[in-house]
A and B are shown apart, each in its own frame.
Chain A
Amino acid sequence: MKFMVRKECLNRSRLGSLLFDALHNETNVKTTAEYPTPLCLQYTMNGSVPHIVSDLLDQLNDDNSPFLIPLPTTYLMNESLRQFNSAFNGVKSGIVDFAGLKKWRPSIVSVYDPLLAINGGHNTVEGIGVFCRGGKQTVNSSKLIDVVTNFKPDAYQAICDSDTPSNASNKRGLNPRARTKSAKESAAKTLVDGFVIDGFHAYGSQSDTQLDFVSVKPILHEIMEILPKDKPKILLGALSPKLIIKLIDSGIDVFDSSYASVMTEKGFALQEVIDVNGLKVKENSLDLNSKQFKEDFGVIETHCQCYTCVNGFSRAYINHLLNASEMLAKVLLMFHNLHTFYHFFAQIRRLLDEDSFQQLLR
């Protein structure tokens, strides 16, 4: 994984590119895939986009973004993966092949799962606690290397002690001195290809409300001063569009799509975030559980180009599916919410390019 800053914008915001080398298994041709930042990684659970089988990935309109593979829902696949790799003797290998995902999409392994809240106090000198089905697994650096050997991701996050509730400001999370120390130590590590900014929230579906931007901002800016400019900064979590805009302004380059999942699980449909003129941020969503949609036979959003809206699935139908607890409700919502979320990122990159991003912050 390589990173290039393409354009420095106002404040700390910038346009850049994440570059991945990909060796195509069948053709043996080496290609470079380029992903513009600010970038949204495609969140996965057990190696699959939530509710979406891999045949439908082409219908997602997610710019073929790299997959985020969080460890808590994949760690238990490690042994299967080790033997999968040797069974297929290199023809198929790694989590992307194992999970039936596309070969030419890069993958990034993270230690924590944006949608699984961290329970405090489980990290020990032996390693960190990763919460999988059936309980805690202690992962130390040698186990992580083993996972990486079997998973074969294009990038992975080093293990870290993020065991800090974001609201405990006396702890290290929001302790400026500890943060600065950590940033300085991290910055000195020249072998790393990027930085994950962790500990401002405790993950899980509540991350958005936990991250108190006003108190985080000064510390975040101090960290950004210390970390090398030519490396990407990654901040994972189910964060709302408004918060993402502020974080981009503070220099974060890479996020993930878990917020779309949070909305889907609630039965909510995201509505277009930035209006056509790029002037206003609207953070509206439709609660499709509501009775008001029972006979609303229009699509979620008339001009939306997602699979659900283009194919004419109506608000009324999704409302019915949610009422009947039918799995298809989540499938249809996922298409729409991911499309809307990725469209939002595309709009941000366009506004940065046109030097009009700042108007979103007003």
Chain B
Amino acid sequence: SKGLSFEVVADCGQTRARLSKLTLKSLSDGSLGRDVTIETPMFMPVGTNATIKGLLPAQVEGTGCQLILANTYHVGSRPGVDTVDRAGGIHELMRWPNALLTDSGGFQMVSLSKLSEVSENGVLFKSPYDKDSTHTVSDEMLLTPEMATQMQHKIGSNIMMQLDDVIKTTHPDEQRMETALHRSIRWYDRCRVTHSKAVADDKTGRHARQNLFPIIQGGLNPEFRRQSAREIVARDPVGIAIGGLSGGEAKDKFIEMVAVSTESLPANKPRYLMGVGLAIDMLMCVAFGVDLFDCVYPTRTARFGCALVGYGKEVSLRSTSMALDFTPLDSECDCNTCVKYTRSYVHHLMRDKNTVGCHLLSEHNIRFQMRFMQKIRDAIRDGVFAEFIADNLRYHFGDRDNYPQWISQAISQLKLDV
């Protein structure tokens, strides 16, 4: 691939975890864009509307983050993909020099729109935005795999997602689940055709540096998941996403599906688990071989006044007990917020709904995610990943007897003695 290279640097040995280098090529020939090499496992903060909640690109970069996510559905609604295209792509529009990944928009359609109907051709949906807003996605619209790909071409993301047939994992109908899995493969093929055409027609070489990822589906059925993974691997994609999870299913089912999805994937391709961002969840999924994560959680919990500390506990800064707490949000943290501010001051800002309080917490929480992933990578590099898992489990649950069922299941499957 012209736009992506991936190399495993170290294997955990005991688990499926690996430390890798992912390089994404800049799409722009201008001064803004740059090639980015990141180490994985890595977390991507979500910039839904082409902005990471209140933070400047320089502040996001300052947390150690060089890969973010934007939602095609939202950006397609406002300001519209044609506007983004005319701006010179999303990197130019939001002045983000590093790498960016977009989803296909399919998931948001199912979860946000007033109506969505899936047929073989695509997803029919109604925009949740009212008519007067400046969105360019019309009221009722059919999103086909071809269109989803073209929208991401216009947005200009480094990594694009195929349109997939997303159904809630808790959907009761196995038949529907199987249809979704096969339809998602057919849709991936249609996305690939559209992408190859665009690459062939594009003289600038821009689209050739965009990378299309397929998505493993199959709900909570292990056989469906295996089938989906097999079909996808046979098509030799540049990277692979695992979708349809983190939607309210039971935790033991969730981790089982992650394990099944990754078990027969080739080692030399990055694996991205969509919508997962809790520290303990990421940790266990890394153990099953996941490389990339995204979630709105760190920035959303910041807006609700929570700071992530330690190995991922939440501290509510709104609580009155914080008024006289003169320690940093997390004394281990090196972010700008923790270097300069006490919990007491952030408490006063949050109580008065001052946006500066949100900015301080968002910056800290993103830095928390970056530091946590760094610890995971260091542990893999140093050959102490199993010990790191043990530390985390003790931190969260204390005794082995207190481990939740899904954790016990995961560690026994990994044959870990922690």
Contacts and interface: CB of A to CB of B under 8 A. Distances in A.
B78 interface: yes
Contacts of B348: 46-47, 76-77, 80
Contact of A47 (B32, B326, B345): B345
A80 B348 CA distance: 9
A53 B49 contact: no
A304 to B, nearest CB: 15
B95 to A, nearest CB: 6
A73 B352 contact: yes
A47 B357 CA distance: 11
A332 B354 CA distance: 16
A99 B50 contact: no
B133 A323 contact: yes
The dominant DSSP class at the B interface is: helix
B55 interface: yes
Greatest chain B CB density within 10 A among A80, A312, A320 is at: A320
B86 A80 contact: no
A327 B94 contact: no
A213 interface: no
A151 B62 CA distance: 31
A274 B28 CA distance: 38
A214 interface: no
A117 interface: no
B54 A55 contact: no
B332 to A, nearest CB: 19
Contacts of A291: 134
Contacts of B87: 295, 297, 314, 316-317
B336 A324 contact: no
Interface string B351-367: 11011101110010000
A56 interface: yes
Contacts of A99: 345
A320 B49 contact: yes
Interface string A303-330: 0000000011110110111011011101
A185 interface: no
B134 A327 contact: no
Given A297-B87, A316-B87, A80 B78 contact: no
Interface string B209-243: 00000000000000000000000000000000000
Given A48-B349, A327-B53, A84 B344 contact: yes
B21 to A, nearest CB: 29
Interface residues of A, number: 44
A52 B49 contact: no
A52 B51 CA distance: 16
B79 A316 contact: yes
Interface in A41-62: 45-48, 50-56
Interface string A128-140: 0000010000000
A320 B352 contact: no
Interface in B278-325: 323-324
A197 interface: no
Given A311-B95, A314-B93, A327-B53, A98 B345 contact: yes
Interface string B130-159: 000110000000000000000000000000
A56 B62 CA distance: 12
Given A98-B345, A297-B86, A328-B56, A320 B356 contact: no
A321 B49 contact: yes
A331 B54 CA distance: 7
A294 interface: yes
Interface in A211-246: none
A323 B134 contact: yes
Contacts of A52: 356
Pairs of residues from A and B, 6 with the lowest C-beta to C-beta distance, nearest first:
A327-B54, A100-B340, A320-B79, A324-B49, A48-B356, A328-B51
Given A316-B83, A317-B94, A323-B134, 19 more contacts: A48-B349, A50-B356, A53-B59, A55-B59, A55-B340, A76-B348, A77-B348, A80-B348, A84-B342, A100-B340, A294-B134, A312-B95, A314-B87, A317-B95, A323-B79, A323-B133, A324-B49, A327-B54, A328-B56
Interface of B: 32, 49-51, 53-56, 58-59, 74, 78-79, 83, 86-88, 93-95, 133-134, 323-324, 326, 336-337, 340-342, 344-345, 347-349, 351-352, 354-356, 358-360, 363
23 contacts: A46-B354, A51-B54, A51-B355, A51-B359, A53-B336, A55-B59, A77-B345, A79-B323, A79-B324, A80-B344, A80-B345, A84-B344, A294-B134, A295-B83, A297-B87, A297-B88, A312-B32, A320-B93, A321-B49, A324-B51, A324-B78, A328-B56, A330-B355
